[in-house]
Amino acid sequence: AQKVTQAQTEISVVEKEDVTLDCVYETRDTTYYLFWYKQPPSGELVFLIRRNSFDEQNEISGRYSWNFQKSTSSFNFTITASQVVDSAVYFCALSEARSGYSTLTFGKGTMLLVSP
Amino acid sequence: ETGVTQSPTHLIKTRGQQVTLRCSSQSGHNTVSWYQQALGQGPQFIFQYYREEENGRGNFPPRFSGLQFPNYSSELNVNALELDDSALYLCASSFTGGSGYEQYFGPGTRLTVT
């Protein structure tokens, strides 16, 4: 069965610090997708990134960057120069294509608190 | 492009009652998935609808049921509500048949069962 572990329950940083959110996954499939979502206090999950299992290239988008390492089954997320608006719960998720449909398996989330 | 919408925003029900939650998918999407998010937890997959049929289900009892309509909107019905059903219910829409698996989420319906 697939599983996503986010070991960090809560992280507190001061504005402008860099912060890395860890994600470790388990799957028996060779084809799968990894995601990060942001959940602000309003509750809506905001899609940040999707990565497929065949693409291990790291990605950078503004202050966000992602490090995907199949060898360690990790898909870590780094925010550079954090801002107060980055405060939210961040979820890592795994998707497998099974029997014609895909579903997301989420970790328990990491709450990020950025103080001024 | 219209995003995913859900109604109502909040709902309070009594144990044993029945509830219907609604979701309108993002334009261009044909698949709707429902998730339950208990406080402090990640969302848990309930089921997915494609072409008006359930095509995948998580570990939820039959009292959780759904519908998808020709316009791809969807309903989640929960019968015989239990206290543990109190949660944020999230609807996500996606497009089956393309190359991606992104699911775009609505703002959720917060259900409280007393």
The pLDDT tens digits for A61-108 are: 899 999 999 999 999 999 999 999 999 999 999 987 665 667 899 999
Q: Which two tokens stand for residue A73?
A: 């089954």
Q: Do A44 and B106 touch (CB under 8 A)?
A: yes
Of A44, A91, A95, the CB nearest to B101: A95
Between CA A16 and CA A30 the distance in angstroms is 38
Per-residue model confidence (pLDDT) at position B1: 55
Which residues of A are less than 8 Å from B58 in CB distance? 103
| Mutate: best of A101, A105, A110, partner B, most B CBs <10 A | A101
Of B42, B45, B90, the CB nearest to A103: B45
Q: Which of B58, B56, B49, B41 is nearest to B22 (CA)?
A: B49
Per-residue model confidence (pLDDT) at position B61: 97
| Mutate: best of B101, B109, B111, B112, partner A, most A CBs <10 A | B101
Contacts of B113 (CB under 8 A, 6+ apart): B12, B13, B14, B15, B81, B82, B83, B84, B85, B86
User: How many CB pairs below 8 A link A and B?
Assistant: 64
Distance from CA of A28 to the nearest CA of B (A): 18
Between CA B55 and CA B30 the distance in angstroms is 12
Q: Do A108 and B42 touch (CB under 8 A)?
A: yes
Judge whether residue A1 has pLDDT over 80: no
Per-residue model confidence (pLDDT) at position A34: 93
Per-residue model confidence (pLDDT) at position B2: 67
Per-residue model confidence (pLDDT) at position B94: 87
Q: Which two tokens stand for residue A41?
A: 């206090």
Where chain B has pLDDT below 70, the residues are 1-2, 97-101
Judge whether residue A17 has pLDDT over 90: yes
Q: Which of A48, A87, A101, A95 is nearest to B68 (CA)?
A: A101
Give how far the C-alpha of residue B41 lies from the chain's centroid of Cα atoms, to the nearest Å: 16
Evaluate whether B12 touches B110 at the Cβ level (below 8 Å).
no
Average pLDDT score, chain A: 92
Distance from CA of A52 to the nearest CA of B (A): 9
Between CA A60 and CA A58 the distance in angstroms is 7
Average the pLDDT over A3-15 and give the result. Answer: 97
Q: Do A50 and B101 touch (CB under 8 A)?
A: yes
Helix, strand, or coil here: A85? helix
Distance from CA of A7 to the nearest CA of B (A): 13
Per-residue model confidence (pLDDT) at position A3: 93
Per-residue model confidence (pLDDT) at position B100: 56
- Rg over CA atoms, chain A: 14
| Mutate: best of B105, B109, B110, partner A, most A CBs <10 A | B105
Q: Do B105 and A45 touch (CB under 8 A)?
A: yes
